[in-house]
């Protein structure tokens, strides 16, 4: 598979004049370029699956309505009782059921692949974590039962200032700032000592499961970049399919 992320851990692959921030941004330019192509592939694959559900024989020849619809498409507005309306209903049920389950299974396989790699104990993910939520918002989400937020606030605390966050990992901080348009909040875990977790046995699931998402930016020293390189294209295809299915559901629902 084409390697769409640079392996930032392999210094031999890094041009001398590129710093970590440039490498990270290059990775994301590459993702953007690939994503357009992958999105088209995902749309074609979903359309092919939908076409397989279409009535094989033209039902209009047996129909008394004589509505004379020429554009037989999944999004056409068919009259009640039309066989093509049934096709639309089947499509909705297929995309929200069997097809979605297939995508979930594939996603789990990709996440399982992460177990083939291990943490190189750089401590970067403990020293600089980001969230679109403020500490107060995270605590509210935790209070309402959101497990991720609950885990997060059980270990992470906010940096006092963006300057402090930047000191923890300047290149990663800057790359995040360039890539993320929305307001971002920066956190660290006080339990990291000499790159190691000082409370390893009691660390929450968010620490055990890191990285949680194959499409999120990782610190360049993170050994899981190799895993992400390997599965990025498949993960992007799944992500594109998820968005396209949401579009079909909205149009047909």
Cα–Cα distance for residue pair 60/230, rounded to 1 Å: 48
Q: Which of residues 125, 138, 232, 238 is near ligand SF4 by CB under 6 A? A: 125
210 part of the interface to ligand SF4, by CB under 6 A: yes
140 part of the interface to ligand SF4, by CB under 6 A: no
128 part of the interface to ligand SF4, by CB under 6 A: no
223 part of the interface to ligand SF4, by CB under 6 A: yes
Q: Which of residues 138, 197, 237, 245 is near ligand SF4 by CB under 6 A? A: 197
Question: Whole-number minimum distance, CB 188 to ligand SF4, in Å?
Answer: 8
Question: Whole-number minimum distance, CB 26 to ligand SF4, in Å?
Answer: 19
- Reading the block at residue 206, the tokens are 């968010």
120 part of the interface to ligand SF4, by CB under 6 A: yes
32 versus 208: smaller Cβ distance to ligand SF4: 208
Task: Indicate if the alpha-carbon torsion angle 107, 246, 38, 73 is positive or negative.
Answer: positive
φ, ψ (nearest 5 deg) of residue 19: -90, 175
49 versus 122: smaller Cβ distance to ligand SF4: 122
126 versus 245: smaller Cβ distance to ligand SF4: 126
The residues, any chain, with a CB within 8 Å of residue 47's CB and separated by 6 or more, are none
- Please answer whether residues 164 and 190 qualify as being in contact, where contact means their C-beta atoms are separated by less than 8 angstroms: no
% helix, strand, coil for the chain, step of 5: 60, 5, 35
Cα–Cα distance for residue pair 184/77, rounded to 1 Å: 43
Cis peptide before 90 (omega within 30 of 0): no
146 versus 199: smaller Cβ distance to ligand SF4: 199
246 part of the interface to ligand SF4, by CB under 6 A: no
The residues, any chain, with a CB within 8 Å of residue 153's CB and separated by 6 or more, are 135, 138, 139, 142
Contact range with ligand SF4 by CB under 6 A, out of 11-19, 21-29, 191-199, 235-243: 191-199
Question: Whole-number minimum distance, CB 106 to ligand SF4, in Å?
Answer: 23
165 part of the interface to ligand SF4, by CB under 6 A: no
- Reading the block at residue 38, the tokens are 């992958």
Q: What is the binding site for ligand SF4 (CB under 6 A)?
A: 119-126, 155, 189, 191-192, 197, 199, 203, 207, 210, 219, 221-224
């Amino acid at each position: 598979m084409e390697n769409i992320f640079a392996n930032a851990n392999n210094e031999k692959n890094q041009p001398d004049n590129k710093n970590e921030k440039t490498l990270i941004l290059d990775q994301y330019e590459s993702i953007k370029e690939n994503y357009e192509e992958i999105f088209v592939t995902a749309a074609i694959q979903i359309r092919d699956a939908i076409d397989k559900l279409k009535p094989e024989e033209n039902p209009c020849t047996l129909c008394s309505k004589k509505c004379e619809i020429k554009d037989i498409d999944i999004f056409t507005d068919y009259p009640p009782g039309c066989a093509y309306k049934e096709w639309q209903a089947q499509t909705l049920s297929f995309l929200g059921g069997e097809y979605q389950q297939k995508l979930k299974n594939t996603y789990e396989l990709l996440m399982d692949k992460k177990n083939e790699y291990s943490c190189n104990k750089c401590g970067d993910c403990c020293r600089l974590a980001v969230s679109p939520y403020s500490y107060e918002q995270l605590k509210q989400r935790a209070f309402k039962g959101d497990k991720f937020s609950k885990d997060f606030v059980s270990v992470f605390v906010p940096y006092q200032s963006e300057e402090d966050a930047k000191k923890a990992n300047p290149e990663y901080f800057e790359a995040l700032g360039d890539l993320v348009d929305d307001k971002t909040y920066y956190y660290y875990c006080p339990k990291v000592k000499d790159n190691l977790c000082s409370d390893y046995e009691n660390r929450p699931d968010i620490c055990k499961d890191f990285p949680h998402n194959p499409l999120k930016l990782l610190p360049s020293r993170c050994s899981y970049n190799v895993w992400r390189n390997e599965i990025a294209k498949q993960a992007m295809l799944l992500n594109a399919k998820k968005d396209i299915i949401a579009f079909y559901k909205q149009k047909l629902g």
